[in-house]
Amino acid sequence: MTEIAKRPTLHAPCEKHRPGPAARTAARMGGKVPVLDTRRLQLRGPRVYDFKAYADILTSDRAVFWGGPYSRKDAWDDFTNYVACWMLHGHGLWTIDAATTPTAGFVLLGYGWDDPEPKLSVFMSAGAEGQGYALEALEAARDHAFSALNWDSVVSSVAPDDDRGIRLMKRSGARRDAQAEAALGTDHRHIWRHAQGAA
């Protein structure tokens, strides 16, 4: 476990829901995020109370393949960045709700500072692993990118030693993109491309 993960967890005031007119405005804005329903899942706009699950994932050893574990503050910065993507780019972070596991994880059509193009990522809570939810959520977000956003392709970035992530990419029909990897000039991330019509 890293030094960051061993530190006491401090909860900031911004994490808490504050009832009132501003919260109602936030709910109306969040209601504009497209809701994607699959056979077992609903992908919906994140709410402030979803941050606890987000932080639980990113501040744990589960985040080791994404540069973590993160501090809680860095997890908040990451969470708010990808929620803001909806207003800036028209795509962003969804919360994954399963019938028996609310806030089971998150799926992202994101666009970070260092990203040459939007990326597709999915990360689940420990209790939601092993049920096929990650693939179901990834496919729903990917298909939304193709059908609603008219994208031809989208990439996922996976660490070379992330066996679970690699299996997910293969099951989804994604293919390694050597050209995109060469353009990034790094060998510590593999780029997997989801192309329309290839899955």
Encode 138-169 in three state secondary structure.
HHHHHHHHHHCCCCCEEEEEECCCCHHHHHHH
Identify the domain containing residue 83 by its residue range: 36-195
- Give CA 110 to chain center in angstroms: 8
Domain presence at residue 29: no
Is 141 in contact with 120 (CB distance < 8 Å)?
yes
Q: What average pLDDT does range 72-101 have in this prediction? A: 95
Is 176 in contact with 195 (CB distance < 8 Å)?
no
Domain presence at residue 159: yes
The secondary element (H helix, E strand) that includes residue 98 is strand 93-98
Domain presence at residue 93: yes
Is 136 in contact with 39 (CB distance < 8 Å)?
yes
Closest CA to 144 of 103, 67, 86: 86
Band of pLDDT at residue 5, cut at 50, 70 and 90 = very low
Q: Is residue 199 scored above 80 in pLDDT?
A: no
pLDDT digit string, tens, across residues 10-37: 788 787 888 899 889 888 888 899 999 9
Question: CB burial class (10 A; 0-12, 13-18, 19+) of residue 113?
Answer: exposed
Domain presence at residue 176: yes
Residue with tokens 């909860």: 11
Assign 3-state DSSP to the chain and report helix, strand, coil percentages, each to 5: 45, 20, 35
Domain presence at residue 71: yes
- Give CA 177 to chain center in angstroms: 20
Residue with tokens 């399963």: 98
Domain presence at residue 174: yes
The type of residue at 101 is T
Q: In Å, how far are 8, 59, 104, 107, 182 from 71, measured between CA atoms?
A: 10, 6, 21, 20, 31
Closest CA to 140 of 98, 100, 79, 85: 98
Q: Give the CATH number of the domain where residue 165 resides.
A: 3.40.630.30
Q: What average pLDDT does range 72-96 have in this prediction? A: 96
The total number of structural domains in the chain stands at: 1
Domain presence at residue 146: yes
Structure tokens at 81: 């960045």
Domain presence at residue 17: no
pLDDT digit string, tens, across residues 125-170: 999 989 999 999 999 999 999 999 999 999 999 999 999 999 999 9
